[in-house]
Amino acid sequence: MTVKFTKDHEWAKLDNGTAIIGITHYAQNALGDIVYVELPEVGKKVGQGKEAAVVESVKAASDVYAPLSGEVVEVNTALKNDPSLINSSPQDKGWFFKLKVANSNEFNALMDDAAYKKHTGE
């Protein structure tokens, strides 16, 4: 599965019209220890670049923006009990939600790994 990134440090993996969404290793590292996450409701329609979730750390609260437009079809309920999964596994077990993608062309316009590394200076 191809992973793409936003300038706001979200990632998306697209698989058969459904995207898995989360925040990047860079973002969780900047936030520090994650203590709470507010996930969207299943069935919520989100627009690309619009607020979809909230993550709180010991340092700050931060909005998580939808990298793609679509409808939320699943949320990672494990994060409610263990938000530290975002720190330990941001691009695997620490995913936030899954979207039924409205426009797959939005995915193509996101940054690939090389462009994201250049964006973050990593």
The CATH number of the domain holding residue 47 is 2.40.50.100
* Residue ranges making up the domain that contains 54: 3-120
Interior/surface letters 7-36, b for 16+ CB within 10 angstroms, e for the rest: eebbbbbbeeeebbbbbbbbbbeebeebee
Report residue 116 as tokens.
């994201």
pLDDT in tens, 12-66: 999 999 999 999 999 999 999 999 999 999 999 999 999 999 999 998 999 999 9
Q: Which residues contact 81 (CB under 8 A, 6 or more apart)?
A: none
Q: How many domains does the chain have?
A: 1
Specify the DSSP class assigned to residue 98: E
Instruction: Give this prediction's pTM.
Output: 0.95
Pairing of β 97-101 and β 70-75: antiparallel
- Tokens 């299943």, residue located: 42
